[in-house]
Amino acid sequence: MILPSPPGADTYGCITRLDKQKVASVAYVSFGSVTATPPHELVALAEVLETSEAPFVCSLRNNSKVHFPNGFLDRTTSQGLVIPWTQFDVLAHTAVGVFTTHCGWNSLLESIAGGVPTIGRPFFSHQTLNGRVLENVWEIGLQLESGVFTKHGVLNSLDKVLSQDGGENEGEHKGTSTTRKERHWTKRDLCG
């Protein structure tokens, strides 16, 4: 396996912002450099990120930003960042508690290396199989309920993963160790 190069300069202030967040509290969203997310799904995702009030980092191609609701970027400047690409550095940060991904192979490997549970939204080809494997075989994440971004589906998935207990045992956290390497996430942890 070829590992990514060591962390570089914090060009977008992303790592600095993550340093100020609680462990496993940030939602990271990225769909790689090839996938084009349908505009209506970007709108649903933006609405959930804003209403959830969870801190977030979103790595998207610049041409995807035009599909966000009017004023979204301005309203969420203190809550989150929308940047081009810093995936490995972000996934290695302990503040990141969930990775919403297209289920590309490299993204899954980086998520595993960082110990970050995933919410999968496969788009094509091998991504569908990878999504099934991450949920049903490796048990380290969830796939979106309807297979696409809907406000309800994303919000429900974020709640399950960020609460770390599937929403069933409020106040009782699983996986509460302070270092990423000590965590072991399973579907049972996420779904109860």
Q: 30-163 architecture in CATH?
A: 3-Layer(aba) Sandwich (3.40)
Task: Express each pLDDT in 62-79 by its tens digit.
Answer: 778 888 999 999 999 999
More confident residue, 183 or 93: 93
More confident residue, 187 or 145: 145
CA atoms of 86 and 13, how far apart (whole Å): 11
- Beta strand pairing call for 26-30 and 96-101: parallel
As given in the structure block, the two tokens for residue 158 are: 């974020």
2: three-class secondary structure by DSSP: coil
Domain map (residue ranges) of the chain: 30-163
Q: In what order do the strands lie in the sheet with 56-59?
A: 80-83, 56-59, 26-30, 96-101, 118-120, 141-143
Mean pLDDT on 15-44: 89
Q: What pLDDT sits at residue 44? A: 92
pLDDT over threshold 80, residue 87: no
Q: What pLDDT sits at residue 27? A: 94
